[in-house]
Amino acid sequence: MVMKIVKTSREIRAFLLLLRKRASGGTGRVEETVKKILADVRKNGDEAVIRYTRKFDSLKIKGLRIRPAEITRFANKAERKIVKSLEVSAKRIRTFHELQKEESWSFSEGDTILGQIMRPLERVGVYVPGGKASYPSTVLMNVIPAQVAGVDEITLCVPTPGNEVSPYVMAAIEMLGVKEVYRIGGAQAIGAMAYGTKTIKRVDKIVGPGNIYVATAKKLVFGEVDIDMIAGPSEVLIIADKTADPSFISADLLSQAEHDELASSVLVTDSAALATQVQGDLNLQLSKLKRIAIAKKSISAYGAILLTENMKEAVGLANEIAPEHLEVMTANPFALLPLIRNAGAIFLGPWTPEPLGDYAAGPNHTLPTGGTARFFSPLGVYDFMKRSSLLSFSKDGFRKLAKTVLALSEIEGLSAHGNTIRVRYEKD
């Protein structure tokens, strides 16, 4: 048996503690390494970036940029049927995100005008992972919302270790019309985008997933620039009752487990029979996977079947874990929806597996992990917008609030604040 069945309250609590430690621990030495890289990039710019690219990616380069002609050359190597699939996905993603656009607004109180001005960010950096695997879907999910928001300049950093370039990543980049692309990765790429170098102009915000070095670098540059979120290993939690198909559940659990050894796959059910069926079927499906070694480590370390008394308790555990992906496979999944508080994305029903959301459904697949769905949201158009408050008072409107402002400034001991009111009274 690979995936354990957890029955007692004590065992469930121990497993939840394990998940919390997985999300927060083990970054001390990584952080020290990343701090040194960031400081070097900040001081030495392109020279440091090129040096780290040679060291970590075994790539000797003189120029950092992948020119549009190179992008086209690489993109032309992509299979046309895959490009067509990317086009379908891009269209659906754009349609969904168009609905997220927020408009400026204002209202009047006599001669007083108050409101909110919405503006897109001017320049955004997108990190697209390379190395063990390349993800054209990451290009679509991070660039399209920025384009819908109206961001003026979008720059991409795409590591190409060993000079391996994914034609599908390049096809996605060309499809979206992004021209500014650099062949760099790791903490050095985050530093270059955050601080700017001679070649790479500083950005306002950095988005996109990466390994622990990339995630730590994003955390450390936050404040210099904005970031989307601190993304951790992938995770799925499935709530299921006795009506669910065990083979569907097993397949969906393994779809996350194959990401990496730290991925978490959890089933919560009130059916002991289903738990046993899933346990057996999962072992059978696991044996057929290409990435069996990774999936097996993930399932063994951070996978579990949590057995509860009822569905209310199951939803309670899901809310406490606050998973990145939450699937609901019950007789009436929509009946549980009002009870669900914390999840990055919610997939309802047996025909809505999580990979639909990864690739082509439309909603963004950049989601909060490690329990941060309690306070973070999926990446969206709103992440590439900023808000400015709008205020305009007439003399009459000013006089109506003057005494209130004077009173509050006095109790806070800010006499200069109060003086702005008094000097205007004197001119009246």
Question: How confident is the model over 138-162, as pLDDT tens digits?
Answer: 999 999 999 999 999 999 999 999 8
Query: What is the pLDDT averaged over residues 287-309?
Result: 94
Kindly report the CATH number that applies to the domain delimited by 45-227.
3.40.50.1980
Report the pLDDT value the prediction gives residue 318, as an integer from 0 to 100.
Answer: 97
Burial of 325 (0-12, 13-18, 19+ CB in 10 A): buried
| Predicted pLDDT at 106 | 97
Q: Where are the domains of the chain?
A: 4-26+233-375, 45-227, 395-427
Query: Do 45-227 and 4-26+233-375 fall under one CATH topology?
Result: yes
β-sheet bridge partners, residue 123: 153
Given pLDDT bands bounded at 50, 70 and 90, which one contains residue 425? confident
Q: Is the pLDDT of residue 1 over 80?
A: no
Average pLDDT over residues 194-213: 96
| Beta carbons within 8 Å of 36's beta carbon, 6+ residues apart | none
Q: What is the mean pLDDT of residues 215-232?
A: 94
Q: Which two tokens stand for residue 25?
A: 């621990």
- Whether residue 262 is predicted with pLDDT greater than 60 in this model: the reply is yes
Could you tell me the two tokens for 186? 């790791």
Give per-residue pLDDT as tens, 10-65.
Answer: 999 999 999 988 866 556 889 999 999 999 999 999 999 999 999 999 988 878 99
Residue 81 is encoded by which pair of tokens? Answer: 């049927």
Q: Does pLDDT of 231 surpass 70? A: yes
pLDDT, tens digit, 9 for 90 and up, residues 336-351 = 999 999 999 999 999 9
- By C-alpha distance, which of 150, 142, 178, 260 is closest to 211? 260
Catalogue the active-site residues.
324-325
- For 4-26+233-375, the fitting CATH number among 3.40.50.1980, 2.60.120.260, 2.60.40.290, 1.10.340.30 is 3.40.50.1980
Three-class DSSP category at 269:
strand
